[in-house]
Amino acid sequence: EVQLQASGGGLVQVGGSLRLSCVTSGFTFDDYAIGWFRQVSGKEREAVSAISSRDEGRLIYYKDSVRGRFTISIDSAKKTAYLQMNNLKPEDTGVYYCATGGTVVAGWAPQEYDYWGQGTLVTVSS
């Protein structure tokens, strides 16, 4: 059974930092892309960062508004993906999800992924 467990969210002031973790199990970690998505109430889930599979070269992509502030990384030995978020802004507030399966390239659309974590809430206060 494929499982993803996202954690690390919380309440932080503007300019602060958080590191999200996504611990996975039940599949071959390096065979698939990993995506981090964000969802705000009433809006569609949007990708903030994604990394392709090992065979696709672990290419990394960022949403324009987070590039230079967020860093996606992986630890294959721990089957864990991370999203380091620095210089947080109020517009970064939302529930963050990690996703995998269904794609080897760094997919940008939610429907490209088969498996999702439960989400972790990030609140950036001004």
* pLDDT of the chain, 126 residues: tens digit per residue: 999 999 999 999 999 999 999 999 999 999 999 999 999 999 999 999 999 999 999 999 999 999 999 999 999 999 999 999 999 999 999 999 999 998 999 999 999 999 999 999 999 999
> Is residue 91 helix, strand or coil?
helix
How far is Cα 49 from Cα 124, in angstroms, rounded to an integer? 18
Give the pair of three-digit tokens for residue 18: 């958080």
How far is Cα 126 from Cα 111, in angstroms, rounded to an integer? 33
Query: What Å distances lie between residue 3 and 10, 28, 42, 49, 66, CA to CA?
Result: 22, 12, 26, 20, 27
**8 Å CB contact between 32 and 103:** yes
